[in-house]
């Protein structure tokens, strides 16, 4: 049996990444220096939970921006899938295609999952709130898809 993924912990340096977004723009972790980054990992475009999570973040993008938080989503889907997902749901934040799981594995969110008694390998829904100096401030493990923004803002209020 494969080991469970070990997401990075709070207080550690976030692994650097560089990738093209679904729009073709290249971004890297250091582009977010001086602001918070919510790097959220989700299993699959256009599935119920992942769609709810993306819509929740999109609806509350201004609230997050008011707290100096940028949002970037990552999943193992390819660029075409991300383009369709972003267009269909009018997402105004970047999505990073990671079909080879380089970023996903750097952040420790790929591992064994169970669903209805079936065991398989997959992405563990996890979000990392990274500060402007690249340090992980908080790890949201298995966030509530339709309440994710509220979880983030509540954590910020209690910890800043």
Q: How far is CA 138 from CA 40, 103, 130, 160, in A?
A: 12, 18, 7, 12
Catalytic residue at 111? no
CA 80 to chain centre: 18
Domain at 32-159: CATH code: 3.40.30.10
Tell me the pLDDT tens digit for each residue of 86-128.
999 999 999 999 999 999 999 999 988 888 889 989 999 999 9
Q: Tell me whether strands 26-28 and 18-20 are parallel, antiparallel or unpaired.
A: antiparallel
Q: 39, 50, 54, 57: which is the annotated catalytic residue?
A: 50
**Predicted confidence (pLDDT) at residue 2 exceeds the cutoff of 50:** no
Each domain of the chain, given as residue ranges in start order, spans 32-159
Tell me the pLDDT tens digit for each residue of 126-136.
999 999 999 99
């Amino acid at each position: 049996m494969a080991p469970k993924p070990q997401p990075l912990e709070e207080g550690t340096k976030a692994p650097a990444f560089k990738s093209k977004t679904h729009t073709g723009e290249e971004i890297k972790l250091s582009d977010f220096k001086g602001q918070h980054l919510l790097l959220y990992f989700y299993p699959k475009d256009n599935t119920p939970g992942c769609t709810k999570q993306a819509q929740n973040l999109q609806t509350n993008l201004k609230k997050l921006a008011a707290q100096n938080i940028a949002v970037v989503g990552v999943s193992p889907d390819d660029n075409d899938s991300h383009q369709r997902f972003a267009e269909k749901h009018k997402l105004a934040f970047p999505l990073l295609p990671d079909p080879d799981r380089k970023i996903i594995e750097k952040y420790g969110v790929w591992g064994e999952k169970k669903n209805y008694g079936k065991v398989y390998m997959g992405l563990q829904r996890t979000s990392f709130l990274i500060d402007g100096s690249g340090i992980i401030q908080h790890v949201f493990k298995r966030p509530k898809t339709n309440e994710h923004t509220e979880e983030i803002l509540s954590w910020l209020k209690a910890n800043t």
